Amino acid sequence: MARLRAFAANGGVVYDLLMEKKRAAQKEARILKIDQEVTGNRKVVGLYETLDNITILNIGKRTTTSRFLRSIRNS
């Protein structure tokens, strides 16, 4: 609140500041939405292709290597 009062006391227009922040937040949200759409499509395509390529994951033994690879696959 003190920063806002100092901004107004120095001749700044509070409404313009708030609208600028709102536009920046909307732009950031729009960019994130587009990024998620693009990367979401890639994940679906690549997931089915490499799901059963590593045999150690299909054996069923719980080794350190299989736990590590499963953690990578599930992240």
Residues 18, 25: contact at Cβ < 8 Å?
A: no
Q: Is the dihedral of CA 6, 10, 16, 21 positive or negative?
A: negative
pLDDT category of residue 59 using cuts at 50, 70 and 90:
confident
pLDDT category of residue 47 using cuts at 50, 70 and 90:
low
Alpha-helical runs (H) found in the chain: 2-9, 14-49, 56-59, 64-74
Residue 21: both structure tokens together: 């922040």
Q: Is the dihedral of CA 45, 46, 49, 51 positive or negative?
A: negative
pLDDT category of residue 42 using cuts at 50, 70 and 90:
low
The model carries a pTM of: 0.45
